[in-house]
Amino acid sequence: MLDLKKIRENPKKFKDLISLKEKDVSLKKIIDLDSQLKSLVSKLNNLQADQNNKSKEIGIMKSKGEKTNDLFSDLKKLSDEIKLLEKEEKKISLSLKEELLQIPNIPHSTVPIGLSEKDNIIKVDCDEKKKFNFKPRDHIDLGKGLDILDFESAAKISGSGFPMFKGKGALLERALISFMIDFSLKNYNYTEFFTPFMVKPDSALTTGQLPKFDDDMYYIEKDDLFLIPTAEVSLTNIHKDEILQNEELPKYYLGYSSCFRREAGSYGKDTRGLLRVHQFNKVELVKFVEPSRSYEELESLVSQAAEICKLLELDYRVIELCTGDLSFSAAKCYDIEVWAPGESKWLEVSSCSNFEDFQSRRGNIRFKNVEGKVEFVHTLNGSGLATPRIFASLIETHQNEDGSISIPVALQPYLGISEIK
């Protein structure tokens, strides 16, 4: 959520910055509601002051034995008027908050301006993709040939868009998760969590999935719970409504989870095999940091995720997203993509974002700085990594002409084998 005080001070600046992400956003209703609320609060304060003065006056008159009937009548009228105004204040405050929750975060000044993913910038490119002396097969063909992927059974059980890993495919999926968790725990100062996969609506509101993107989430109506689209939701809400101490920061949290996405807007996108699924596994990385360090922490997060791709011996690149391609909550974001030679395309496997204080305002996550002043923390998150496209890229990149898969050296201890055949 954006800082209302800053919007109030310079509405045009905020309108211009927001329009770089969403063209049709208007701040007029927010400005109008804010103005109404300020006027109402001012009137309430005056009436409450008048109420206090009359109460004191009644006390003095009573002590002198004087009659107070008229003042009591005035006080009753004041009390009734205050109650009505307090009710109106709550109504306007709620409307104002609802409007603010619909407004996206503003892009950081360093984000390249653009309309769509076509305007994104390649920050780190792949020097040379792996060459094959045969035509590489895609992961669907490889998975079927090795009997490690079973999309037919998954569709019979759950419908389309759900993967099923089988035999050494299940072993490889589990190995990838364990390897990625261990890498981040051993090389960076993360605390591991295994969080709930279902969250209350308030939790999804903190991270920005609600109220605007409820159609993308699976909802359990009987219990008023949402299945998480990422462990970011659970991890970020650990400190909801808390004030952290400065010496506690930074906090680095890691969590593996299954992720659930309806992919309501996926029409026209490639949904073959593992490329876009409703359920998948992901290792999530979340940071709570001081505002002055958040962009340094973002660069570190990107390097961390990219290092995993290197260790898996995959061709990868780092993309800086332009304003028009930024997510609702992000102030700045990098995507990491890996090359899938069988698909002959780049696949996104990680998004690393700095949300600044956008999520912490929504979740009321604060810290006491070195001067003792309470302010909002900056939150960041990144995938470290999501497995389906990593799985697809890995078996396509490391395939052999006979259809077998060579296992990257870093992953071999987790499988106990050097080849799937």
pLDDT value at position 347? 97
Lowest model confidence (mean pLDDT) among 133-142, 223-232, 236-245, 271-280: 271-280
What pLDDT shows up at residue 78? 87
Is residue 321 within 8 A of residue 375, CB to CB? The reply is no
Among the listed residues 137, 261, 361, 366, the single catalytic one is: 261
Q: Say yes or no: domain 28-100 is CATH 1.10.287.40.
A: yes
Provide CATH code, domain 117-420.
3.30.930.10
Concerning whether 389 is annotated as a catalytic residue, the answer is yes
Q: Which of the two residues, 75 and 190, has the higher pLDDT score?
A: 190
Q: Which of 276, 293, 313, 317 is catalytic?
A: 276
Q: Which of 203, 234, 300, 351 is catalytic?
A: 351
pLDDT tops 60 at residue 389: yes
pLDDT value at position 258?
98
Q: Is 276 a catalytic residue?
A: yes
DSSP per-residue string spanning 270-322: --STTSS-SEEEEEEEEEEE-GGGHHHHHHHHHHHHHHHHHHTT--EEEEEPP
The pLDDT of residue 127 is: 86
Checking if the pLDDT of 71 tops 80, the result is no
SS3 239: helix
Residue 101, both tokens: 């929750």
Catalytic position from the list 173, 350, 389, 393: 389
Q: What share of the chain is helix, strand, coil (3-state, %, to 5)?
A: 45, 20, 35
Tell me whether the CATH fold assigned to 28-100 matches the one assigned to 117-420. Answer: no
Domain locations along the chain: 28-100, 117-420
pTM of the model: 0.93
Rg (CA), the chain: 27
Mean pLDDT of 97-116: 97
Give mean pLDDT, residues 98-113. Answer: 97
pLDDT band at residue 63 under the 50/70/90 scheme: confident
pLDDT for 238-273, tens place per residue? 999 999 999 999 999 999 999 999 986 555 567 789
Mean pLDDT value across residues 383-398 = 97
Beta strands in 294-401 (DSSP E): 316-320, 332-340, 345-356, 366-368, 374-376, 378-386
What is the predicted pLDDT for the residue at 267?
A: 56
Is residue 351 annotated as part of the catalytic site, yes or no? Answer: yes
- Nearest residue to 209 (alpha-carbon basis) of 196, 221, 195, 219: 219
- Which range among 33-42, 70-79, 168-177 shows the weakest confidence by mean pLDDT? 70-79
Q: Which of 263, 307, 348, 375 is catalytic?
A: 348
More confident residue, 68 or 188: 188
> Rounded to an integer, what distance in angstroms lies between the CA atom of residue 197 and that of residue 210?
16
